[in-house]
């Protein structure tokens, strides 16, 4: 994993270097080379509600260890928060950041030896009248004290210049003089003999992590170490190698990160893949339109690869990483890699296995976006467990089984919808179907076997629980046709009991249905005959062995039988109308 992150950084982050990092800056203090205050600049796309500002790809950056070494309060160079640069914020915040501001100004003065205009910036920041004007303007612009700011001199940004780079490298090297190591160690990534860096740079942008970042590799507790090694010597790396994997991962999170519940997923390829050829684009796009249908895309890619039309994709490799933060630490929840063709096939199978009839019948429902599927498992999207999100993502990418816990949660939410009469969510029912399809060992989209539950009604499915669910839907339809809306109908009163102890309930329900059929016969004899045929057909499939109890998995089959039979009953019925007319003759 680390090796692939370093390889990615070599391709996408060629400027990665210790002491430098990309930074998003929201504001700039504008001045002339003579030190005249010209106001402030709002950077980035100001039309965005949450404008992150302008990204400077190679801004100076100090690690946490460098910021605290020697016991002196330090700040970053050229880019800092408004609380530090402009004394902007609440009085207590301003007072707390005074030492940092003093250090920030001292850095400008030191760097002016190689870049003279910076001395004018230092003098401006020490001019209280100019700073007061700046704070008034920032307050009117509703700036935040935590927003980052930089300097703009005569329309130019010093942070974009390379003039100060060598000075900065030299300055950093003097912050923490290194003692000669008694023994060099082999770098965990490159294999070269190096002096291992004591602490590694932090990863930014992870859900659940500290705003200042989190550590992927660190050994701050004695229990984490081994063989008497201190800190990161337990996974020895050079400073350059540590910076490379950090730059690569931060770039992936910034540019390709997709948040799924409490998990952030990043994926990339060994060789560049165009966005329109990316099988995992469905993580970001809604699949309501044909253009964004990932299943169609995956099948086209598979055909092209197998026909030899896309040799560039055939030999490619994908990488996928699932991460989350826990305070100051990065949690790696999953790591996957494999062939591009395998990935396209698994994505195709994912949508094939999740295919389910529309609640109103008349075709297959559009596949839900992945985040919508996760949200369908819980009452509140915030309640989706991060491990479950990571496991479902792995199921999609690797073609693995659906977690039992996901099936149980989908079933629980679907049962509530059935009983309360809520709009039915196809994501929940699709997940139930995918669970059983993959449990049966079919998977990979192979759903042609008659024993396999199909997206629509599967009348000959050899599952008593499924047939009991079908019977429940037919009996409910008969009641509704006979009595209309009656408040607490058969579903509200009996669904929970019927789906867990069918033998105790269905005898009474079938007997009651005879009275309902009698009422239907008075108005539509042919339709009553059609319903009798449906009830008889399902009862024949169940036979005399009505189950006494159903396990949780069997209750899932019951729910699918109920849903698919309900969808079939709601669909336009040309054949049903014809049967009704024949019965009236």
3-class SS of residue 388? helix
Residue 65 neighbours by CB under 8 Å, 6+ apart:
176, 198, 199
Per-residue confidence (pLDDT) for residue 382, from 0 to 100: 80
Which is higher by pLDDT, 66 or 486?
Answer: 66
Express each pLDDT in 163-180 by its tens digit. Answer: 999 999 999 988 865 544
Q: List pLDDT tens digits, range 512-565.
A: 999 999 998 988 899 999 999 999 999 999 998 899 999 999 999 999 999 999
Residue 573 confidence (pLDDT): 64
Residue-level pLDDT at 282: 75
The predicted structure's pLDDT at residue 285: 52
H/E run at residue 27:
strand 27-31
DSSP secondary structure of 237-279: --HHHHHHHHHHHHHHHHHH-EEETTEEEEEEESS---GGG-G
- Distance, CA of 13 to CA of 252 (rounded, Å): 10
pLDDT tens-digit map of 69-106: 888 889 999 999 999 999 999 999 999 999 999 999 99
Given the structure tokens 């994908």, which residue do they identify? Answer: 318
Spatial strand order of the sheet with 27-31 comes to 37-42, 27-31, 148-153, 80-81
* pLDDT computed for residue 579 by the predictor: 41
As a whole number of Å, the CA-based R_g of the chain is: 32
Q: Above pLDDT 70, what percent of the chain?
A: 92
What pLDDT does residue 578 have? Answer: 43
Say if CB 472 and CB 569 are below 8 A apart: no
Q: What per-residue confidence (pLDDT) applies to 575?
A: 42
Residue 576 has pLDDT above 70, yes or no: no
| Sign of the CA dihedral with 172 first, then 176, 177, and 183 last | negative
Whether 289 shows a pLDDT value over 90: the answer reads: no
At 367, is the pLDDT very low, low, confident or very high (cuts 50, 70, 90)?
Answer: confident
Work out the pLDDT band at 400, boundaries 50, 70, 90. Answer: very high
* Residue 246 clears pLDDT 60, i.e. is over it: yes
CB 214 within 8 A of CB 206: yes
> CA-to-CA distance for 406 and 553, rounded, in angstroms?
12
* Average pLDDT score over the chain: 88
Helix (H, G, I), strand (E, B) or coil at 119: helix
Quote the CA–CA distance of 437 and 453 in Å, as a whole number: 7
Closest CA to 11 of 256, 202, 268: 268
Q: How confident is the model at residue 487 (pLDDT cuts 50, 70, 90)?
A: low
Q: Write out the two tokens for 437.
A: 């399809």
Between 296 and 107, whose confidence is greater?
A: 107
Cα distance between residue 2 and residue 236, in whole Å? 13
pTM of the entire predicted model: 0.80
Q: Which of 374, 355, 353 is nearest to 366 (CA)?
A: 355
pLDDT, residue 443, reads 46
What is the predicted pLDDT for the residue at 296?
78
Residue bearing the bigger pLDDT, 86 or 281: 86
Non-local (6+) Cβ contacts of 454 within 8 A are: 447
Confidence of residue 290 (pLDDT cuts 50, 70, 90): very low
Let me know: does 323 contact 386? Beta carbons within 8 Å. no
Mean pLDDT of the region 446-468: 80
| DSSP-derived secondary structure for 79-110 | -EEHHHHS--S-HHHHHHTHHHHHHHHHHHHH
Confidence grade of residue 577 (pLDDT, cut at 50, 70, 90) = very low
Q: Let me know: does 189 contact 241? Beta carbons within 8 Å.
A: yes
Cα 268 to Cα 279: distance, rounded to the nearest angstrom: 11
Confidence band (pLDDT; 50, 70, 90) for 28? very high
Average pLDDT on 376-394 reads 87
pLDDT attached to residue 451: 63
Distant-in-sequence, close-in-space partners of 236: CB < 8 Å, separation ≥ 6: 185, 186, 187, 188, 194, 196
């Amino acid at each position: 994993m680390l090796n692939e992150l370093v390889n990615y950084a070599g391709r996408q982050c060629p400027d990665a270097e210790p002491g430098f990092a990309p930074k998003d800056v929201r504001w700039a203090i504008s001045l002339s080379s003579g030190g005249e205050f010209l106001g402030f600049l709002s950077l980035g796309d100001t039309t965005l509600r949450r404008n992150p500002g302008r990204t400077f790809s190679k801004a100076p950056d100090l690690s946490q260890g460098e910021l605290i070494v020697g016991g002196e309060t330090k700040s970053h160079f050229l880019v800092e928060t408004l609380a530090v640069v402009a004394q902007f914020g609440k009085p207590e915040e301003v007072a707390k950041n005074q030492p940092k501001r003093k250090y920030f100004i001292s850095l400008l003065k030191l760097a002016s030896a190689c870049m003279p205009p910076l001395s004018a910036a230092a003098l401006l920041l020490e001019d209280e009248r100019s700073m007061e004007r700046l704070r008034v303007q920032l307050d009117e612009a509703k700036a935040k004290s935590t927003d980052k700011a930089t300097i703009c001199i005569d329309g130019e940004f010093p942070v974009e210049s390379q003039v100060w780079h060598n000075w900065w490298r030299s300055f950093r090297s003097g912050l923490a003089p290194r003692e000669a190591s008694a023994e060099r160690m082999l770098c965990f990534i490159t294999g070269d003999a190096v002096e291992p860096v004591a602490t590694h740079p932090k990863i930014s942008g992870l859900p659940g992590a500290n705003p200042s970042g989190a550590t992927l590799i660190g050994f701050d507790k004695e229990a984490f170490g081994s063989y008497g090694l201190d800190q990161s010597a337990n996974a020895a790396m050079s400073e350059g190698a540590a910076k490379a994997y950090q730059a690569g991962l931060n770039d992936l999170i910034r540019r390709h990160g997709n948040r799924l519940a409490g998990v952030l997923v990043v994926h990339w390829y060994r060789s560049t893949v165009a966005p329109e050829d990316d099988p995992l684009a469905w993580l970001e796009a809604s699949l309501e339109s044909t253009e964004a249908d990932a299943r169609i895309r995956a099948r086209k890619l598979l055909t092209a690869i197998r026909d030899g039309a896309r040799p560039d994709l055939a030999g490619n490799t994908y990488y996928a990483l699932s991460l989350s933060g826990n305070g100051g630490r990065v949690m790696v929840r999953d790591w996957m890699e494999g062939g591009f063709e395998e990935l396209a096939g698994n994505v195709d199978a994912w949508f094939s296995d999740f295919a389910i009839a529309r609640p109103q019948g008349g075709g297959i429902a559009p596949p839900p976006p992945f985040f919508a599927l996760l949200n369908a498992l819980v009452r509140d999207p915030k309640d989706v467990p991060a491990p479950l999100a990571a496991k479902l993502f792995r199921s999609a990418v690797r073609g693995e089984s659906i977690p039992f816990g996901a099936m149980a949660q989908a079933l629980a939410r679907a049962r509530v919808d059935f009983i309360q009469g809520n709009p039915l969510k196809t994501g929940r029912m699709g997940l139930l179907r995918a669970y059983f399809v993959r449990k049966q060992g079919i998977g990979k989209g192979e759903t042609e076997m008659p024993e396999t539950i199909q997206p629509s009604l599967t009348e000959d499915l050899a599952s008593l629980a499924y047939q009991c669910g079908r019977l429940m839907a037919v009996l409910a339809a008969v009641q509704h046709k006979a009595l209309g809306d009656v408040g607490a109908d058969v579903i509200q009163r009996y669904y929970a009991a019927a789906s867990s102890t069918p033998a105790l309930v269905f005898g009474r329900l079938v007997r009651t249905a005879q009275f309902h059929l009698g009422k239907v016969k008075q108005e539509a004899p042919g339709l009553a005959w059609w319903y009798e045929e449906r009830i008889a057909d399902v009862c024949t499939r169940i036979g005399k062995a009505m189950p006494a109890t159903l396990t949780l998995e069997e209750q899932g089959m019951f729910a699918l039988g109920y849903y698919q039979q309900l969808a079939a009953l709601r669909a336009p019925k040309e054949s049903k109308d014809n049967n009704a007319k024949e019965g009236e003759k």
